[in-house]
Structure 1
Amino acid sequence: MADTTDLYFDLALALRLAEHANAAPQHAPSFSEHQEGTTCPGGLVWVSDQGTYLMSTGQPKIPGDDGTPNLIAYAHGWEPDDEHPSAADTHIGGDDFAEHLHLHEPLGPRSASLLDLLRRGATQGFRHLVLKVTETTVAVTVSRTRPDDA
């Protein structure tokens, strides 16, 4: 297994989802937020089930451009019909989970929030939101290219 599993998402689409969550009047809470009775402050949900993708926590949901009831951003190479490793065989871990990435929490000490990173990345010509997943961490960055870009 590699030291990291890097997931590349279309930055423009991830920003569209984040802006939806930021503007939404209500949010779908994570499992722990629901159990604790706390509200979701708005974010992206990183999901692994039939593929690996991001979606907005915002309610009402944002419809997909293809007529689906919920717009999602698949990780490059991780759509349901793509030939990718089983998520359980990577640092992603299990094949079925949802992890909330809150928009306004700093991404690290003295770091910008996820929403700020997405907005700044879009204005500076970055094309991808990258989740760098290790056994114990998920680092969030932006990138101009993917390793397999021509």
Structure 2
Amino acid sequence: MTTTLYFDLPAALRLAEHAAAATEHSTSFTETEAGVACPGALLWVADAGIYLMSGGIPGLRVDPTDDASGHVLVYADGWTEEDDFHDRHDSELGGDDFVEHLHLRQRYGTRRDGSGVTLLQAMRVAATSGYRCLVIDVHDATTYSLRLSRTGPR
């Protein structure tokens, strides 16, 4: 079985643009252990809800003039902190909290000419081409795939 998470594409792209423009980035555990810098990422987080946030430092704040304000979060449809009808323990997400880095400059697809397209480039094109959602299909506790969709959850 697959758990499918739908994120509003324009809102996710706002986070991605912030992360891409940042001069510093939050590193993943693996990057920290290897001593390598993060090239810029959306952070896919599971704790009180399932959401995306910018990996840029400083973070994207709800109120940019107030360093104490919270970070801008884009929740997966139906997985906000108030949604208690989803039980992560019974889904492919599992019960543990996590943060996964979705690197914006990772290869996402291929153009017709055979050249690579990054996740950020694909999101930009999709947002101007009628796509509505960034979708994460979670196949099991260690495998997921990303896609862009013109339709949202049913």
TM-score by length of 1: 0.89
The structure with the largest strand share of the pair is 2
Instruction: Determine whether 1:147 maps to 2:153.
Output: yes
1:83 Cα deviation from its structure 2 partner: 3.1
- 1:77–1:83 CA contact under 8 A, matched in 2: no
Instruction: Determine whether 1:41 maps to 2:47.
Output: no
Q: Mind listing any 5+ residue stretches in structure 2 that lack a counterpart? A: none
- In structure 2, what is the Cα distance between the partners aligned to 1:27 and 1:146? 30
* Counterpart for residue 90 of structure 1: 91
- In structure 2, what is the Cα distance between the partners aligned to 1:102 and 1:31? 14
Matches within 5 A, 1:8-19: 8-19=6-17
1:112 Cα deviation from its structure 2 partner: 2.6
TM-score by length of 2: 0.87
- 1:86–1:95 CA contact under 8 A, matched in 2: no
- In structure 2, what is the Cα distance between the partners aligned to 1:55 and 1:112? 22
* Counterpart for residue 71 of structure 1: 72
Show CA shifts across 1:30-61 (max 9, x none): 11111221111001010000000001110111
Instruction: Determine whether 1:101 maps to 2:102.
Output: yes
Instruction: Determine whether 1:130 maps to 2:135.
Output: yes
- In structure 1, what is the Cα distance between the partners aligned to 2:15 and 2:129? 19
Matches within 5 A, 1:109-128: 112-128=117-133
Once the two structures are aligned, what percentage of the paired residues are identical?
48
1:107 Cα deviation from its structure 2 partner: 2.8
Q: May I ask how many residue pairs the two structures share in their alignment? A: 146
Instruction: Determine whether 1:55 maps to 2:37.
Output: no
Instruction: Determine whether 1:7 maps to 2:5.
Output: yes
- In structure 2, what is the Cα distance between the partners aligned to 1:146 and 1:23? 28
Query: What secondary structure sits across from 2:11 in the alignment?
Result: helix
Which amino acid is the alignment partner of residue 98 of structure 1?
V
Q: Mind listing any 5+ residue stretches in structure 1 that lack a counterpart? A: none
Which amino acid is the alignment partner of residue 118 of structure 1?
M
- In structure 1, what is the Cα distance between the partners aligned to 2:6 and 2:88? 15
Show CA shifts across 1:40-86 (max 9, x none): 10010100000000011101111126973211100000001113322
What is the aligned-residue RMSD (CA, Å)? 1.9
Which amino acid is the alignment partner of residue 123 of structure 1?
T
Query: What secondary structure sits across from 1:118 in the alignment?
Result: helix
Query: What secondary structure sits across from 1:70 in the alignment?
Result: coil
